[in-house]
Copies of this chain bind each other. A is one copy, B any other.
């Protein structure tokens, strides 16, 4: 198998963790006799510094000529108060490649259970997948502007039926591969878009008789994620609700640094990135946790390259390393052995 991957290290700890990802890719190359090639391109703050543009043409071209994208992180205080901001690169790349399906697994690793802010009996055994719509809704709806000489403002939450249908289908397909329970989150008691969303979920649900469907309001979902995270299997929801709920869900694990994500288009072309941010405070110190990034490589192998067993190998290796008590500085642990970014990467590779 031959694949070309664009690496977008980005800002903060991005370069360190993408270097870790590359090392893992190289090992997979050797072990399995694949030909994974890669090139680095700029996105986010570093791209603004070099070109004034958070997503330069060259980066887009490179991604277009690739089979997948691995992203580190973008953003930082340096660029926070300018009109051109690093996150715009992220929003643009999602839209450009039509990466409408954001998959965020929220897994509690046995070894890290004690890091959760939740009580053990509540969090234990939680395992859910959030399917977030990523290229519609308030993030891209027009009009989005000041009006009346700055006396008022409007943003628009827009969806087409097709946009809702395709993400809802991904929700059902994902549920079919898991515990066959889909929770659709909306605010149907207030929003017309949510009422349409709910109708579409019910329509498409007819094609998936094995999947049980619950409709939960977004405020109730925000509560239930804390009081009973185990009750969820797959959550499907629109862009902004997904943004809020997936971040909320990820902290209940107590280990943000180990969680990956995939953003896919209709053809399973995708951008893979850890869910944590650029952590500028620890950038360059070799302290960053590479696990979220390495598990993102695993998701790439699974979703874009159909290499299920290789992806599972990576997950297993991570699990073993954690079970053997190895951690990085971000993971609270009483008796774990704290490794640097590269030591952790090498340890995982040694278990592969």
Contacts and interface: CB of A to CB of B under 8 A. Distances in A.
Contacts of A148: 160
A344 B236 CA distance: 41
Interface stretch (A28-36, A61-69, A242-250): A242-250
A145 interface: yes
Interface string A137-164: 0110100111010111111111111100
A190 interface: yes
Chain A interface mostly? helix
Interface in A227-286: 227, 240, 243-248, 250-252, 256
B155 A160 contact: no
A193 B187 CA distance: 20
Contacts of A191: 138, 144, 155
Oligomer: number of copies: 2
A91 interface: yes
A223 interface: yes
Contacts of A246: 219
A119 interface: yes
A49 interface: no
Interface string A85-121: 1010001000000000000000000000000011100
Given A151-B160, A159-B152, A192 B248 contact: no
B250 A223 contact: yes
B222 A244 contact: yes
Interface string A184-199: 0001011111001000
Contacts of A250: 223
Contacts of A155: 156-157, 191-193
B144 A152 contact: no
Given A244-B244, A247-B222, A248-B223, A141 B119 contact: no
A157 B153 CA distance: 8
Counting chain B CB atoms within 10 Å of each CB, the highest count among A139, A154, A252 belongs to A154
